[in-house]
Amino acid sequence: MKALVTGISGFAGSHLADYLLSQNVEVFGMVRSGSKLERLGNAIGRIRLVECDLREEQAVHRVVKTLRPDLIFHLGAQSSVPVSWSSPIDTLHNNIAGQIHLMDAVRLSGIDCKIQIAASSEAYGSVQPREVPLKETNPLRPLSPYAVSKATQELLGYQYFKSYGLPIVVTRAFNHIGPRQSDNFVASSFARQIARIEKGESPPVLYVGNLEACRDFTDVRDVVRAYWLALKEGEPGEIYNVASGECRPIRELLERLLSLAAVEIKVKQDPDRLRPADAATLYGDYSKLERKTGWRPEIPFSRTLEDLLEDWRKAQ
């Protein structure tokens, strides 16, 4: 079985590559020219990489026509919420045009290929307290250009399923964390700052944004297993939440990481880390995915935090 992973050199993509290799899948990865490949580590000798920019229609068509994958995991995207405010058009263009090119490539080459779309809990956006834990049927009220791009990706997936019968499964992942994540994201940002302070590379002050938001954190290694199961066993045209079902204030995440630190650290709010809008509470109900595939998160939060901090302690 051949799988093509877009965004394979990214955080979730690199973990998905490891997981697919463990399932004896033949793995092809799409990377942009100049992408950093360190996250792929030992997997690099066991996968085939093709250089291609998802924004280039003809290049995407050529790759799909040549490789003829059985499965596509579509993870490649501009994935930062803050960047989407500074670059809304790039975010929308990248995430929406990229997906259209990919789906059209499959449609026009006539191959039999199931496609997973990596959507996001950010699309739920402005959630009422009575609506949590969120089910897939909840209305989407996106609060950022990134969230709009992800809601649009889902809608396009649905439209291509209905219009052309493409077997598309949408996964709506809540926050995923773990080793290899960029420090643009909250858990990695805090863990990296702690590791640098421990090494004496920064003064003992940790900068934070909004600590009052509540999020649902799942280990990335559980998330990529969910992507695999959702694509293999999920129903085309359907959406599946990928979540832990637990709601954690960012303040709790901070306190848990600080309790692992080897030194005393002060905390300071950095106004640049606050957002024009930030969903107050996002946590999900993953029972639809569990019923269909048996998936449940397995890695405890405490182990994820330890692994994440160790990863930053080892970083140069």
Nearest approach, Cβ of residue 50 and ligand GDD (Å): 23
Site for ligand GDD in 63-92 (CB under 6 A): 79, 81
Q: Is residue 186 within 8 Å of 131, Cβ to Cβ? A: no
> Binding to ligand GDD by residue 180, rule CB under 6 A?
no
> Binding to ligand GDD by residue 209, rule CB under 6 A?
yes
Considering beta carbons, is residue 25 or 78 the nearer one to ligand GDD? Answer: 78
Residue 93's alpha-carbon distances to 10, 216, 249, 283, in angstroms, are 19, 28, 32, 28
Amino acid at 5: V
Among 49, 223, 229, 250, binds ligand GDD (CB under 6 A): 250
- Which residues contact residue 287 at a Cβ distance below 8 angstroms, ignoring those fewer than 6 apart? none
Residue holding tokens 């950022």? Answer: 144
Q: Is residue 261 within 8 Å of 205, Cβ to Cβ? A: no
Q: Which stretch binds ligand GDD (CB under 6 A): 53-61, 183-191, 217-225, 239-247?
A: 183-191
> Binding to ligand GDD by residue 256, rule CB under 6 A?
no
The C-alpha atoms of residue 204 and residue 197 are separated, in whole angstroms, by 6
Angle 274-277-279 from CA coordinates, rounded to 5°: 105
Considering beta carbons, is residue 167 or 179 the nearer one to ligand GDD? Answer: 179
Q: Which stretch binds ligand GDD (CB under 6 A): 26-34, 180-188, 233-241, 285-293?
A: 180-188
Nearest approach, Cβ of residue 84 and ligand GDD (Å): 9
Q: In sequence order, what DSSP letters do the residues of 199-237 get, joined into one string?
A: TTSS-SEEEES-SS-EE--EEHHHHHHHHHHHHHHSPTT
Q: Which stretch binds ligand GDD (CB under 6 A): 27-35, 103-111, 203-211, 283-291?
A: 203-211
Nearest approach, Cβ of residue 271 and ligand GDD (Å): 11
Considering beta carbons, is residue 9 or 121 the nearer one to ligand GDD? Answer: 121
> Binding to ligand GDD by residue 175, rule CB under 6 A?
yes
Q: Is residue 197 within 8 Å of 203, Cβ to Cβ? A: yes
> Binding to ligand GDD by residue 99, rule CB under 6 A?
no
Site for ligand GDD in 260-289 (CB under 6 A): 273, 275, 278
Collapse the DSSP code of 35 into the 3-class scheme (helix H, G, I; strand E, B; otherwise coil) and give the result. Answer: coil
Query: Residue 20: exposed, middle, or buried by beta-carbon count in 10 A (0-12, 13-18, 19+)?
Result: buried
> Binding to ligand GDD by residue 189, rule CB under 6 A?
yes
User: Where does this chain bind ligand GDD (CB under 6 A)?
Assistant: 79, 81, 120-122, 173-175, 184-186, 189, 208-211, 213, 215, 250, 273, 275, 278
